[in-house]
Amino acid sequence: MKLPRSIAGWTIAVFGVLALVMGAVGLLWPEAQLRMLGFEVPATRAVGDYTGTFLVASSMAAFNMGVYYLLATVTEWRAFYRFTVVFRLVTFTVFTIAVLADITPDRFFGVAAWEGLGALATAVGLRLDARRGAPAGEVVMSEGVEAAALAEEGTGPAGAAPADAAR
């Protein structure tokens, strides 16, 4: 696998690896996953307790999400990076409201904080990447710069003068 080529790419890769690992743990050792989250693990489950079913479904979703994030890292899919910032902030908001409304236990705020901090880290990474230029293999030009470069090459729009003639 190729290493990330940008700061934002590293934030996405870290989240992707953690989502993949945590999803695998939830699938292979659900009790450990529950304990890591600070939830009790009773010796037996009551009839109608679908904790295991929900854990398998959410763990599989986390595993898949990890794969998606790593694929985005390998391809340096910056639109995906920006998308994750918005929706991880939405996740932070929803999880925080769930804690404040006593829908989830207080310790669940750790999950909300993880999402919020991850979103902020990626947003900062995107900003820093933009300031220092695009990562390797990505061409970033403003419209004016691109038009001037094309005109200089003689491949610009019909009627465009070479850059030397404009001076």
Give the tens place of pLDDT for each residue, 123-161.
999 999 999 885 544 544 444 444 444 444 444 444 444
Would you say the C-alpha torsion 144, 148, 149, 153 has a positive or negative sign? positive
Exposed / middle / buried, residue 81 (Cβ in 10 Å: 0-12, 13-18, 19+): buried
What is the total residue count of the chain?
167
pLDDT at 114 over 50: yes
List of long-range contacts for 92-101, beta carbons under 8 Å, 24+ apart: 92/116, 92/119
Residue 155's pLDDT is 46
First CA to last CA distance, the chain: 47
Residue 58's pLDDT is 93
- Span 10-33, mean pLDDT? 95
pLDDT at 85 over 70: yes
> Among residues of the chain, what percentage have pLDDT more than 70?
79
Between 135 and 64, residue with greater pLDDT: 64
What's the gap between Cα 41 and its chain centre? 30
pLDDT at 165 over 70: no
pLDDT at 84 over 70: yes
Confidence of residue 34 (pLDDT cuts 50, 70, 90): confident
pLDDT at 81 over 90: yes
Residue 141's pLDDT is 40
pLDDT at 167 over 50: no
Between 148 and 59, residue with greater pLDDT: 59
Confidence of residue 1 (pLDDT cuts 50, 70, 90): low
Tokens matching residue 93: 């908001």
